Amino acid sequence: MKSYIGVYGLGVMGQSLALNIANHNYSVAVYNRSTDVTEKFAKDRIQSRKITPTYSVEQFINTLESPRKIILMVKAGAVTDAIIESIVPLLSAGDILIDCGNSYYKDTIRRNKSLLEKNIHFFGVGVSGGERGALEGPSIMPSGDEANYNLYLRDLFNVISAHTEDGSPCCDYIGPDGSGHYVKMVHNGIEYGDIQIICEAYQLLKSVLHLNNEEMADIFEKWNKGRLSSFLIEITAQILRRKDDLTDNYLVDMILDEAGQKGTGKWTSMEGLDSGIAIPTIAESVFARCLSAIKPQRVQASKQLPLPKQFEVEDKEKFIADLEEAVYASKITSYAQGFTLLAEASKENNWDLKLGNISLLWREGCIIRAQFLEKIKQAFDQDANLTNLLLAQQFKEEIINAEKGWRNVVVTAIQNGVYIPCITASLQYYDGYRSERLPANLLQAQRDWFGAHTYHRVDKPHDQSFHTQWEEF
Ligand code: 6PG
């Protein structure tokens, strides 16, 4: 009996995905480079006859029905290249390789091109939802050849993905070559922004309002019942209540304040810079992780650079309400940036991304899952060519209503010397975007002065450039 599909790589994600596939009645062969891992998986977790463990690459490849369909769930980068190189000689024309890791989209474009020359169909597939999502239903962002996708992968991916309340799968064909990994990358950039915005709210509740963990958990729990309802807000409340196993303290207070990162937020920020799209909230969320990571320097600096005089907040309830508005408005602004980046990438690469559908893929299963994404879908349904989510009727109204509280939060943080880069960058993006006139006229004059870079005039057509001889020398 041959298997319909194979999973190469039995890390936590590979194991969960293989179990999910088998639970939906598809036969799946699994392989891992170190045999111990496969043996342990076979012993502890395989209950279904639908899963066939294999112990050599040759056995793995020969266990698969034709065309072979192989999911790679391995470390992104050089490891993925090395594995592709090692299995391609064993494959036949028409076989299908599916990279479900967090690969850089330019790598996916390159692999797609070179594998096509060998008649192997390559799919770059974004998968979000962590270990539990992979097991119970992740959000899936597939890209590659559409005809082969429809023939061999669509039904499988739809059934193993998360589903919205009305039963729609959180999986939809994204587009050709690297588009699936691009969309996953932007998902992660937005995830970085969401996480940092929540952490900034926590920081303000803790250091300005002096609330304890249980009081903060109550606030996040309450927010989770309203428009901020989301997986990340929900787990924040739960994290704040968790007691430490080793001491009498809360666990969160025992965790070192040094953030890790694997690079997808950085890639998103680099993409913003490369394509000239302002995504300051996402970029600041990456820099916030960088600053957090230099803990010993911060400890030294905190002894030499004192806090400013502290302003106590008198009306705590009002501040908490303002903070909810600041978090919500920052979230809208951050998603506005992420979707603008997606729109630009779609144009640059001819991907024809369906932005409304993408927002629905993220409605369940993934890390940024939230009710909020439905509003984004509605905004694109109302206007498929929307240039910026800030201009969608509903978001426009919500952000104008939130503005006063948002500004109050930023002012309070700045007065008290609290670092809230993402909430501030979001407000600054909003102020920049809604400014009819910015000081770039002066900037252009300076560039023209020292570098003869030329400028456009307000009273002449845009295709005409001007230069002034600013000084005699
Ligand atoms: C997901 C997550 C997942 C992973 C991130 C974390 O969508 O399931 O985004 O891909 O948790 O890579 O990234 P950092 O380690 O960079 O925070």
* Active-site residue (options: 69, 191, 324, 325): 191
Q: For residue 101, what are its two tokens?
A: 């890791």
Residue 125 Cα to ligand 1 midpoint, Å, equals 14
pLDDT mean over 150-168: 96
Alpha-carbon distance 362 to 272, whole Å?
Answer: 21
Model confidence at 346, in pLDDT bands (50, 70, 90)? Answer: very high
Q: Alpha carbon of 135 to those of 15, 18, 52, 144: distances in Å? A: 8, 8, 17, 24
Q: Measure the CA dihedral 193/425/445/456, to 10°.
A: 60
Alpha-carbon distance 338 to 350, whole Å?
Answer: 18
pLDDT on residue 49: 82
What atom of ligand 1 comes closest to residue 368's alpha carbon?
7
Alpha-carbon distance 189 to 346, whole Å?
Answer: 17
Residue 188 Cα to ligand 1 midpoint, Å, equals 6
Residue 419 predicted with pLDDT over 90: yes
Check if 196 has its Cβ closer than 6 Å to any atom of ligand 1: no
Per-residue pLDDT of 301-339, as tens digits, reads 999 999 999 999 999 999 999 999 999 999 999 999 999
What atom of ligand 1 comes closest to residue 263's alpha carbon?
16
Q: Alpha carbon of 140 to those of 86, 191, 352: distances in Å? A: 26, 16, 18
All residues at 6 or more sequence positions from 288 whose CB lies less than 8 Å from its CB, including other chains: 196, 199, 259, 419, 421, 422
Residue 16 predicted with pLDDT over 80: yes
* Active-site residue (options: 184, 266, 331, 375): 184
pTM: 0.96
pLDDT on residue 1: 85
Report the residue among 13, 73, 100, 102 best suited for mutation to probe ligand 1: largest number of ligand atoms under 8 A from its CB: 102
Residue 132 predicted with pLDDT over 80: yes
Model confidence at 120, in pLDDT bands (50, 70, 90)? Answer: very high
pLDDT on residue 459: 98
Give yes or no: 184 in active site.
yes
Residue 46 predicted with pLDDT over 90: no
Contact of 143 with 181, CB cutoff 8 Å = yes
What atom of ligand 1 comes closest to residue 366's alpha carbon?
7
Whether residue 280 is preceded by a cis peptide bond, meaning omega within 30 degrees of 0, is no
